[in-house]
Structure 1
Amino acid sequence: MLGFTATRTQVATYLFGVALFSISFLVFLNSSISFVITQRIGQAHNVGDAVGTLGFADELVALVACPAWGLLSDRVGVRSVAVIGYMIVGVSLWVFMAAKNVYPQLLLARLLFSVGATATATMVTAILPTMTVVQVVQIVQDPRTPRRRVNGTSHALAPSISSELTITPARFQSRSPPRDDNDDTVVRKDTAASTSHLAGLVGMFTGCGALVALLIFLPLPTRFGQGGAEPADAVADAFYVVGAIAIVVALGCFFGLRRLPGEEEKSWERFWRTEQNKASDTPQSRQPILSYPRLFLESVRLGYQSPTIGLGYVGGFVARASSVAISLFIPLFTNTYFLKTGQCRATDPSDPADIKNSCPQAYKLAAMLTGISQLIALLSAPIFGYLSARYRKYNLPLMLAAVAGVAGYSAFGSLASPDPASKDGSGGIFAIVALLGISQIGAIVCSLALLGRGINDDDSRKSQLHTTDDNVPTNGHLSAGTTPPRSPAMTPQSEEAPLLGTNYSGPASSSGPESHTHLKGSIAGTYSLLGGFGILLLTKAGGALFDSSGPGAPFYMMAAFNALLLVVGVLVAVRDAYSGARGEQRGREVR
């Protein structure tokens, strides 16, 4: 059973709202922007250049906006940022229809859209840890009181039917609830597995979001045109409808993501609050308030200090770059081959979409190869979620994805022909693009799972919960960052001593110095920032190498990126194995 601490409504809103639509509106806009330029604005020349400039400006804004939204969410909450993001997306789609020229009106509309889209994309990562926040309860329970529930879990005994005068220490011990290593804490089930499973679902839902755009959003102009509308009006109607859907999603997030675990302290009152290092005296306000620069620096520092988060960063870098390699360079590789062999006439460089008319064979083959890759990725997402939960000890699923990337991209870069029907072609190309899809989704799912586990500090907590020193258990998830004060002994030393203590400590804060839930937005922003760098690096450097060194160069770059991910993963696994061995040795010395 998945150990979600969020409610079913919150989980459903996260999957069907934030994750599903985080990419849908971007896919719709990227596929429709050329129609806005030609049908709405009426520009028939330099369409490709305009589309490329708008896309490049979008990426530049994303590099700044992703970490900014992450930092903001650590002050005001992930729910607020998600709602604002989808509201901006909806409004910007309407603004597109008011543009009368490409520069500056359409450019400004695209920048506004990018601001909103980066908020929603960043919150996909930032909200994940809130679904499986680990909470620890320290409790000393009187067996004579009714059963008490904390966080939905029973931690007490049924009322005693014996006289208080006849309850002996031995009888009391026999009725005491089971505890781990005589600990005074009752802990929720380990949620690291739930984080990994949920990451797999997130990968699947984001893939389904692209299908929503392709199957529902993109055909809207054609359907409106069949109803008698002019092409320009049909495009406008489609943008108005999709924009309205974005507003509806924002409202769904507003109501469905209320009272997320660990977000109780976030509010707009903290937006301009000065830095506060010490927690207040009230138990409801235990999270430190850091300045925005410190939030960002802390998220970067964690990439070096926390192997789990650092490996997640590298995985995100490779995953985002992989998406460009599949969607951009596979069609470019295919088109170049058909042009080189004389099977197609040269396309209009000002209009990349002209490939549909000038070289339909190349277009169909490219669509088939990328479609197979994305289909395999969609089907593999929940599998990687399961594997990441089942075999997370040494991050084996992520290394499997990296190996698939090294093999798949190296093989694709060495191909003489992408066409299996040609004399130089090979039927193995379908297996190769399947490896690319496996590599991409594996990096996405496993990196998200790593960040979720690293933010909640699940892995170290799991090892610490069963570590004792002189029979004093340590605790990996405490609000003050230290082992809580021991409650009075529940079993008296003599028959005359008072049997029961009266102390009861309620639930500890769901975040503490050992966990990094107060930095989850900043960490998500840094994760998206590194992904943006991966896209820009592969787009610019890979494109230049494509022209100078050959069509296989971008794929060899991706093979190198995956090799880097594999090396980092191996180093982290070796470190974990060494730390585990030292921990076992210290445990034997203590015993």
Structure 2
Amino acid sequence: MEEKTQVLGPTYSSTITDLETLSNASVQQEPLKASRKFLWVVPLAPHAHPIQFFFLMLAVFVPIAIIVFIASAQSFYILIRITSVSHETGDITGSLALYSEIISLVFVVFWGVFSDYHEKRTVMALGIIIMGIPAICYPYATNIYPSLLLLRLVFSVGTAATTSMMAAFFIEVVNGKGGLASGILGASSGLGAIFSVFVLFMVPSYLNKAYQDYTKSLNITFGVIGGCTVFLGMLLYFVLPKSPNVLKQKERHPPRGKQELLPSSSSSSFFLVRWCGYFANGVLDFIFKIKCGVLAAKDPRIALGYTTSFFARADEIIITNFVSLWITQYYIENGTCEVGSPCYTSAATSGTLTGIAQAVALVACPFFAAGSEYLPKEFPIMMAGLIGAGGCIPFAFSIDPTSKASMALVVLIGIGQYGMIISGLTMVGGDHVPVDYRGSVAGTYSFFGALGIIVLSKLGGVLFDRWMKGAPFLLLGIGHALVLVLSIIVYLWGRFSKKASH
């Protein structure tokens, strides 16, 4: 699940935002106690209103819903219909995810630069609008390369904007430890995924019953869903929190040791030249932030947060893409569905399986949020790693991915996914992160998440075709087990270092 994204991704997820060093320094000068609270318990920054935080939840809900819908619908509505084969779909799915994430990394830098000179709500709204446009065009794709690939790349431009601004809004709007806020935003991403599998997935089936024409049904479905996405993007621009620190060109300074690449004042009237200079500075800023973020990983707690991002973001993509793909392949092999036509049985089963799993996992969000707020931050990560490994590894060796046992295992995978998203985000956003490095840490956290998608989606897709259908989930299970071991080590390190200091 993208892409809490990925809050979430992420999702729930991938951010290189404005110059957080300056932004966070200014935020720290505000009173420590927020002027308002959301639902009387979640402290907000002085400039944020609780109603605006509610719409921020909606801004998390909408992208995750459309990301989950597009990723899953690609498997049982679009991909097999285009290819008319079923034996290479894993590699194709992994490759599309790989190329999409590479584009996301490039545009994360662009949107970060853009947010330096414009408000974050502008970037979020533009991202949602851009996601809606290829969604409308999706059923008209006639081949994998280039038409479907181009739509996925444009869609990734929008997801890069939304996922980057999710983390940026979290840092800017929330006050205090952030455990409760991350839990609420994580729950919003979960609700978006649940809405997608229980409502959006079912629309083509219902329309097909009415029109008896699956092509017309798909066209109407994607048109309506994409159109609503564009409308909501426009609406959210007016209701999201305003950014208190939008840098002007004259206020922007490159980090230490970098040469200013902005064009001279004589050429500043040329829009393209000016923004090429901004983007060049953004690339250098990106490299500088990643360097600072990697250096910050000398603190084992921050390093643990990066590790959770690597596997939690991959969790979203692999669960969203490969569960539905596996079920579709299973029905094709059993003769229930045919290659070359949409598999509505697969859509219903996938929706039920992942929907129930997401709903149950959503119930676990408050517990991980409370644990991140009131317990040592390593404890929730330990539980997320243990539960995720306990779900991924057995599910990888399932014979029937549609069985009740598989449903229980997918529930555990979902709980582990949400747990790592929530607890990992608070690990890199806690008080132990120096103020001057928070922007770099946030950017590096998202960078490792994108790297996890690139590596695990491509490798998982190849192994899906050439080894076994559960291979992507075996990779995730090993990753969750690694996170469990590392969280125990980091906790013991913290205990012994405190004793040594005394």
- TM-score for the superposition, normalised by structure 2: 0.71
CA displacement, residues 198-252 of structure 1 (integer Å, 9 cap, x when unaligned): 1111121111112333344445556667787976555444444333322333233
Name the amino acid aligned to 1:314. Answer: T
Hey, what does 1:383 align to over in structure 2?
367
1:124 correspondence with 2:103: no
Q: Matched residues in 2 for 1:301 and 1:579: separation?
A: 24
Equivalent-residue separation in structure 2 for 1:526 and 1:209 (angstroms): 26
Change (3 A) 1:31 1:48: farther
Of 391, 416, 437, which aligns to 2:414?
437
Q: Which runs of 5+ in 2 are unaligned?
A: 1-40, 258-280
Letter of the 2:481 counterpart: A
Cα distance, 1:554 vs structure 2: 3.6
Match of 1:199? 182
- The superposition leaves residues 406-449 of structure 1 with CA deviations (integer Å, 9 ceiling, x where unpaired) of 333333345566676xxxxxx76555333222211111111222
2:157: which partner in 1?
115
Of residues 277, 298, 311, the one that matches 2:304 is: 311
In 1, Cα distance between equivalents of 2:412 and 2:305: 20
Matching of residue 447 in structure 1 with residue 424 in structure 2: yes
* Offset from partner CA, 1:281-317 (integer Å, 9 cap, x none): xxxxxxxxx7542344323432442434432221111
Q: Distance in 2 between matches of 1:26 and 1:92?
A: 12
Tell me the secondary structure at the aligned position of residue 43 of structure 2: coil
Distance in 2, matches of 1:106 and 1:117, equals 16
> How far off is 1:402 after superposition?
0.7
For 1:25 and 1:385, the matched residues in 2 are separated by 25
Contact 2:293–2:443 under 8 Å retained in 1: no
Q: Answer whether contact 1:66 1:528 (CA < 8 A) is retained.
A: no
Match of 1:322 in 2: 315
Q: CA deviation at 1:578?
A: 3.8
Any conservation in 2 of the 1:401–1:439 contact (CA below 8 Å)? Answer: yes
Q: 1:221 to 1:326 in 2, by over 3 A?
A: closer
Distance in 1 (alpha carbons) for counterparts of 2:141 and 2:336: 32
In the alignment, does 2:491 pair up with 1:573?
A: yes
- Shift in Å at residue 365 of structure 1? 6.5
| Structure-2 separation of matches of 1:365 and 1:222 | 12
Q: Corresponding residue for 1:82?
A: 124
Separation in 2 of the partners of 1:547 and 1:98?
26
Could you tell me which residue of structure 1 aligns to residue 5 of structure 2? none
Which residue of structure 2 aligns with residue 275 of structure 1? 254
Equivalent pair of 2:123/2:162 in contact (CA under 8 Å): yes
Q: CA RMSD in A?
A: 4.1
- Other-structure match for 1:505: none
Is residue 400 from structure 1 mapped to residue 390 from structure 2 by the alignment?
Answer: no
Shift of 1:104: 4.0
SS, match of residue 110 in structure 1: helix
Cα 1:576/1:93, change in 2 over 3 Å: same
| Partners of 1:89 and 1:378 in 2: CA distance | 25
Q: Which amino acid in 2 is paired with 1:448?
A: L
Please point out which of 32, 52, 60 is paired with 1:19: 60
User: Does the alignment pair 1:265 with 2:246?
Assistant: yes
Map residues 557-572 of structure 1 onto 2, 5 A cutoff. Answer: 557-572=475-490
Partner of 1:3: 43
List per-residue Cα deviations over 1:156-198 (Å, max 9, x = no partner). xxxxxxxxxxxxxxxxxxxxxxxxxxxxxxxxxxx10xx1111
Partner AA of 2:316 in structure 1: S
Q: How many residues align?
A: 433
The answer to whether the 8 A contact 1:123-1:524 is kept is no
Distance 2:241 2:313 in 1: 30
AA aligned to 1:326 is: I
CA drift of 1:565 comes to 1.4
1:100–1:106 CA contact under 8 A, matched in 2: yes
The equivalences for 1:449-468 within 5 A come to: 449-453=426-430, 458-459=431-432
Asked whether the equivalents of residues 67 and 526 of structure 1 are also in contact (C-alpha less than 8 Å), the reply is no
Question: Quick one: distance in 2 between partners of 1:301 and 1:121?
Answer: 21
Kindly indicate whether the alpha-carbon contact (under 8 Å) linking 1:304 and 1:310 is maintained by their aligned counterparts in 2: no
Query: CA 1:390 to 1:270, structure 2 compared with 1: closer, same or farther past 3 Å?
Result: farther
Shift in CA distance, 400/303, structure 1 to aligned 2, threshold 3 Å: farther
User: Given the alignment of the two structures, is residue 344 of structure 1 paired with residue 334 of structure 2, yes or no?
Assistant: yes
What's the offset of the Cα at 1:93? Answer: 3.6
Shift of 1:581: 3.3
| Cα distance between partner residues in 2 of 1:247 and 1:100 | 24
Letter matched to residue 474 of structure 2 = Y
Asked if the contact 1:15/1:202 (under 8 Å) is kept, the reply is: yes
Q: Which has the larger radius of gyration?
A: 1
Compare 547-556 and 293-302 and name the one that shifted more: 547-556
Please report how far the alpha carbon of residue 274 of structure 1 lies from its aligned counterpart in structure 2 after TM superposition. 5.1
Distance of 1:217 and 1:398 partners within structure 2: 32
Per mean C-alpha deviation after superposition, the further-off stretch among 374-383 and 298-307 is 298-307
Is 2:307–2:483's contact at 8 Å kept on the other side of the alignment? yes
Q: Is the 8 A contact 1:47 1:351 kept in 2?
A: no
Q: Which residue of 2 aligns with 1:514?
A: 435
